[in-house]
Amino acid sequence: MATLEVQGIHSFYGNIEALKGVSLCVNDGEIVTLIGANGAGKSTTLNTICGLVRPRQGTISLDGEVISGLPAHQVVARGVSQAPEGRRIFSRLRVFDNLEMGAFLRKDKDGIASDMERVFELFPRLGERRDQVGGTLSGGEQQMLAIGRALMARPRILLLDEPSMGLAPLLVQEIFSIVQIINAEGTTILLVEQNAHMALSVASRAYVLQSGSVVLEGTSAEVAGNPEVKRAYLGEG
Partner 1 sequence: MLKRSLRRGALVGGVLVFIALIGAPAAFAREPVVRGVVTLSQLLLAIGALLAGSGAAPATRTRSTGAVVAAGAIAGAVCMLLLALLALLVSAVDLRQVLVNATPQLVDELTLGRGVVTGSTVLVVLGTVLGALGGWSTRLPAAISRSAVLAGAAVVVVGVLRDKGLAIAEAVALGVAVWAVAYGRSRWGSALATRYQRVQRRNSTMVSIVVWIAGLFILLGLPSILGTYGTSVLDLVGLYVLMGLGLNIVVGYAGLLDLGYVAFFTIGAYVTGLLTSPAASTQLGLSFWIAWPLAMVAAAGAGALLGIPVLRMRGDYLAIVTLGFGEIIRILVLSDTFKSVLGGAQGIIEIPGPSIGSFTMMRPQHFYYLILIGVMIVVFVSRRISDSRVGRAWMAIREDEDVAEATGVNLVKYKLLAFAMGASFSGIGGAIFASWVHSVFPNSFTLLVSINILSLVIVGGIGSIPGVILGAFFLVGLPEVLRSFADFRMITFGALLVAMMIARPEGLWPAKSRRRELHLEVAE
For residue 97, state whether it binds Mg ion (rule: CB under 5 A). no
For residue 15, state whether it binds ligand ATP (rule: CB under 6 A). no
Nearest-approach distance from CB 36 to ligand ATP, in angstroms: 6
Nearest-approach distance from CB 84 to ligand ATP, in angstroms: 10
How far apart, in whole angstroms, are the C-alpha atoms of residue 191 and residue 205?
Answer: 10
For residue 51, state whether it binds partner 1 (rule: CB under 8 A). yes
Nearer to ligand ATP, 47 or 112 (CB): 47
Q: Give 68-75 contacts, CB < 8 A, sequence gap 24+.
A: 68/9, 73/105, 75/49, 75/50, 75/51
Nearest-approach distance from CB 38 to Mg ion, in angstroms: 8
Nearest-approach distance from CB 42 to Mg ion, in angstroms: 5
For residue 100, state whether it binds partner 1 (rule: CB under 8 A). yes
Q: Which does 11 bind (CB under 5 to 8 A by kind): ligand ATP, partner 1, Mg ion, none?
A: none
Nearest-approach distance from CB 75 to partner 1, in angstroms: 8
How far apart, in whole angstroms, are the C-alpha atoms of residue 3 and residue 61?
Answer: 8
For residue 219, state whether it binds partner 1 (rule: CB under 8 A). no
- Choice from 43, 48, 61, 81 touching Mg ion (CB under 5 A): 43
Closest CA to 191 of 215, 156, 162, 169: 162
Q: Which stretch binds ligand ATP (CB under 6 A): 12-20, 170-178, 180-188, 227-235?
A: 12-20
For residue 222, state whether it binds ligand ATP (rule: CB under 6 A). no
Q: Which stretch binds ligand ATP (CB under 6 A): 1-9, 38-46, 63-71, 227-235?
A: 38-46
Q: Which stretch binds partner 1 (CB under 8 A): 14-22, 49-57, 174-182, 206-214?
A: 49-57
Binding site for partner 1 (CB under 8 A): 50-52, 71-73, 75-77, 81-82, 84, 88, 90-94, 97, 100-102, 104-105, 133, 135-136, 149, 153
